Amino acid sequence: EAGVVQSPRYKIIEKKQPVAFWCNPISGHNTLYWYLQNLGQGPELLIRYENEEAVDDSQLPKDRFSAERLKGVDSTLKIQPAELGDSAVYLCASSRGQGADNEQFFGPGTRLTVL
């Protein structure tokens, strides 16, 4: 079974430029999560999808961040425009079932550097 796929693995951009990250979850996983991980910190949830619906985006800075999961499979997270403070690792995860005992499977992440 293939794991969660993310691309690109690394991205370096200048501030004020747009950037997009792509995630393909494990086949059959209806729930998809985007996390932000700052250096030396644990991941923090940005947005959660159930199929194509964003059911929790309360932590997503909506002035510059957007996300979509149009067909309920892969997903794109966008930042426009990027700021210096956006430099971090962006992790995607997916899970199959429902409930608090769900195991989330994580991708390798995209490391973003904003210059």
The residues that touch another protein, with contacts defined as CB under 8 A, are: 3, 30-31, 33, 40-45, 48, 50, 55-56, 89, 91, 93, 95, 97-109, 111
Nearer to another protein (CB atom), residue 66 or residue 104: 104
Least distance from C-beta 50 to another protein, angstroms? Answer: 5
CA distance 27 to 1: 8
Amino acid identity, position 19: V
Least distance from C-beta 81 to another protein, angstroms? Answer: 25
Of 50, 73, 52, 54, the residue nearest 65 (C-alpha): 54
Residue 30 CB partners (closer than 8 Å, separation 6+)? 50, 51, 72, 96
Nearer to another protein (CB atom), residue 75 or residue 95: 95
Least distance from C-beta 75 to another protein, angstroms? Answer: 14
Q: What angle do CA 20, 24, 26 make, to 5 degrees?
A: 155
Nearer to another protein (CB atom), residue 9 or residue 16: 9
Nearer to another protein (CB atom), residue 57 or residue 81: 57
Of 71, 75, 91, 68, the residue nearest 23 (C-alpha): 75
Least distance from C-beta 48 to another protein, angstroms? Answer: 6
